[in-house]
Amino acid sequence: MIPMLSFMSPHRLWWLVVPVLVVALYAALLVHRRAAGSSSLLASILPRDTRLRRHLSVGAAALSLVMLVIAYAQPQAMTRVPRDRATVVVVIDVSRSMMATDVTPTRLDAAKEGAKEFVDSLPESFNVALVSFAATADIKMPPTTDRSALENAIDALELAPSTAIGEGVYTALDALKLAPQDPDHPDETAPGAIVLLSDGATNMGRASSDAATESKKQGVPVYTIAYGTSSGYVYENGHRQSVAVDHAELSEVAKDSGGKKYSADSLSSLQAVYQTISHQIGYVDEYHEITARFAGVALIFAVLASAGVISLAARWP
């Protein structure tokens, strides 16, 4: 894949006319030589491969000039670099449907395992908070860098009735406000993100669409994970009740907040989703100067051109 380039000094690219003129002048000299009938004399003096070497030497010299001009214009390429700081809120649905066993051993137990691995995968400098929701939402752990405390809080999550996705998002936004200030940058707010895992649709509390809109307004994307399968079920009062995962609402929440929606139907697929989200949150795209790369390529072509010229000179009678 060719990286997208930008230039710190794009006005210097006009120097690209120089290698074009060099190639044009060489081509003109070849045409003139053929027209003058000197090619046959040259062929009688030099080995048959000399012409090819001459062409390759000129080509390498021209390419070396092209690379030097690009390096002179100070090129930059988009590069993914790790963030220094961020606050992530992990939001987990603890409604009773999460006791379904379509994900081994249960949806909630597997969700806990995946969440702990996700927390561990984030940079140590990131503050991470934990929110759980059912009929209401609670901050189980405010933003912290203490991974052990977070994992203990995740292990302590318990089931409760109903589902309030909107309340989960609103509470996550509240949790973000509790993030400690960076002593080196007290006036700067670290970027925030919400990672919300659920298997159902809202049946309590404020609308998730309004929560997603507010999240986008605050510049906080919500990455949603629709967790479970279409065959999930639980027993309520002795009756079997289907709890198929609901994708529609979670898709809208992600879209309206500027985040992205994922799906997982097993612990392994959940782990893969968390790894993807970790990479997206943990890294940022930035332009970095890559002048040295083009200078190095120019050097290689210059060496090839020099080797060709030396070879020709050594064969000259």
C-alpha span between 184 and 120 (Å, rounded): 24
pTM summary value: 0.70
pLDDT tens digits for range 286-317: 778 889 988 999 899 888 888 877 776 666 55
| Percentages (nearest 5) of helix, strand, coil residues in the chain | 50, 20, 30
Q: Please, what is the angle between helix 165-176 and helix 208-217, to 10°?
A: 20
C-alpha closest to that of 132 among 114, 113, 156, 107: 156
Q: What is the per-residue pLDDT for 316? A: 54
35's enclosing H/E stretch is: helix 17-36
C-alpha closest to that of 207 among 249, 155, 241, 145: 249
**Per-position pLDDT tens, the chain of length 317:** 445 788 889 899 999 998 888 888 888 887 877 776 555 555 555 555 567 777 888 888 889 999 999 998 899 887 766 677 889 999 999 999 999 999 989 999 999 999 999 999 998 889 999 999 999 999 999 999 999 999 999 999 999 999 999 999 999 999 999 998 876 666 667 789 999 999 988 999 999 999 999 999 999 999 999 999 988 888 877 788 888 888 999 999 999 999 999 999 998 999 999 988 988 887 767 778 889 988 999 899 888 888 877 776 666 55
CA 302 centroid distance within chain: 36
Q: What is the per-residue pLDDT for 47? A: 54
- Would strands 222-227 and 127-133 be described as parallel, antiparallel, or unpaired? unpaired
3-class secondary structure, 288: strand
